Amino acid sequence: MIDEHHDVPDGCQITAWRPPGIDEISEVFHAKIVDYGYPTHTHDTWTVLIVDNGAITYDLDRRTRGAVGDTVAILPPGVTHNGKPAAGAKGFVKRVLYLRESAVPVELVGAAVDRTNIEDAELRRSISSLHEELRIGADPFSAESALALITDRITAHLANRAEFVAPIESGVAKQLRLLLDESPTQPITLDQAATRLGRSKAHMVRSFSTQYGVSPHAYVIGKRIERARALLLEGVAPADVASSVGFYDQAHFTRHFKRHTAIPPGAYAASGV
């Protein structure tokens, strides 16, 4: 957070928002910071930070750390820190996910202070991809699935576990599929499914994806597109089809429909005349 009592250079650019329907993300924060340092402060959330350009240095609990390139920085809730361009850098470009305290086990706060920097290229790619989804307007079910795998991998790093992946359970995958089939236009959330099946969200996503070769979100999208095709050929207007099969807007519907059929919904409907 930038202290409003300090002068902020004109070169600084900030974009921040709260994505709808994704409870564990309290804020998405994209920033270009030039010739400016954040004052010492704390957050009530977990800070998951990646740097796209430049380099940042910060003091976390009075220990000097930094982030650049493939580093994923994890700053725990309630711990004081600051931030400024690293020596030799005028600034940095960063993307941050602020995750609610419950997203990562609270007993790992101390580990995050000790091992705040994670060097994991796959984790960084996953975080970057999620940011891109959130930037264009992510489907909540897709974002929730991606975030579950990200927080599980962060937890594994902080807990210093050698293995990231628990054995999959085909039975859990089949049960999740049945839950998704109950209403693909308004699917059960991963939180709800985790409660009903007694498994973590990440474990369910991995088990389902391994069992069926497709993620739970991609499976739901496929079911929606199947229903949309039938409605379009029955003469229902594309705008009405989008909402009736569970897409939150026409652009979202068209993007997925073209990916599955290679043509827009309107052209698909006309092809059946």
Taking residues 252-259, report their average pLDDT: 89
In CATH terms, are 13-120 and 218-271 the same topology?
Answer: no
Task: Tell me what pLDDT residue 131 has.
Answer: 96
Residues in contact with 13: Cβ distance below 8 Å, sequence separation at least 6, in sequence order: 31, 32
82-96 burial code (b ≥16 CB/10 A, e <16): ebbbbeebebbbbbb
Dist. CA 2–CA 38, nearest whole Å = 6
pLDDT at 165: 58
CA–CA separation, 80 and 42 (whole Å): 5
Q: Which has the closest alpha carbon to 130: 105, 96, 157, 103?
A: 96
Q: What's the mean pLDDT in 104-108? A: 93
Q: How confident is the model at residue 148 (pLDDT cuts 50, 70, 90)?
A: very high
Of residues 138 and 237, the one with the higher pLDDT is 237
Average pLDDT in the 16-34 region?
Answer: 92
pLDDT surpassing 70 at residue 5: no
Amino acid code (one letter) for 82: N
Report d(CA 138, CA 252) in Å as an integer: 9
| pLDDT tens, residue by residue, 83-92 | 888 888 888 9
21 phi, psi to nearest 5 deg: 80, 5
Average pLDDT over residues 27-49: 92
What is the per-residue pLDDT for 272? 63
The span from the CA of 203 to the CA of 170, in Å, is 11
Residue 2 has pLDDT above 50, yes or no: no
Please determine, for residue 42, whether its predicted confidence score (pLDDT) is greater than 70: yes
**Structural domain spans, the chain:** 13-120, 170-213, 218-271
User: CATH number of the domain at 218-271, out of 1.20.120.430, 1.10.10.60, 1.10.540.10, 3.40.50.720?
Assistant: 1.10.10.60
**What local confidence, expressed as pLDDT, does residue 75 receive?**
94
Banded model confidence at residue 4, pLDDT cuts 50, 70, 90: very low
How sure is the predictor about 151, in pLDDT bands with cuts at 50, 70 and 90? very high
Per-residue model confidence as pLDDT tens digits over 180-226: 999 888 878 888 899 999 998 999 999 999 999 999 989 999 999 99
User: What are the DSSP calls for 189-239, one per residue?
Assistant: PHHHHHHHHTS-HHHHHHHHHHHHSS-HHHHHHHHHHHHHHHHHHTT--HH
Most confidently modeled of 43-52, 60-69, 249-258? 43-52
| DSSP element (H, E) containing 113 | helix 109-114
Q: Which CATH superfamily, name and number, covers 13-120?
A: Jelly Rolls (2.60.120.10)
What local confidence, expressed as pLDDT, does residue 139 receive? 81
User: What is the C-alpha separation between 18 and 22, in angstroms, rounded?
Assistant: 9
pLDDT tens sequence across 109-145: 999 999 899 999 999 999 999 999 999 887 888 899 9
Strand order in the sheet with 25-34: 13-17, 25-34, 91-99, 46-54, 71-75, 117-119
Report H helices in 25-98: none
Please give the pLDDT value at position 162: 55
Helical (H) or strand (E) element with 118: strand 117-119
Q: What is the mean pLDDT of residues 66-74?
A: 88
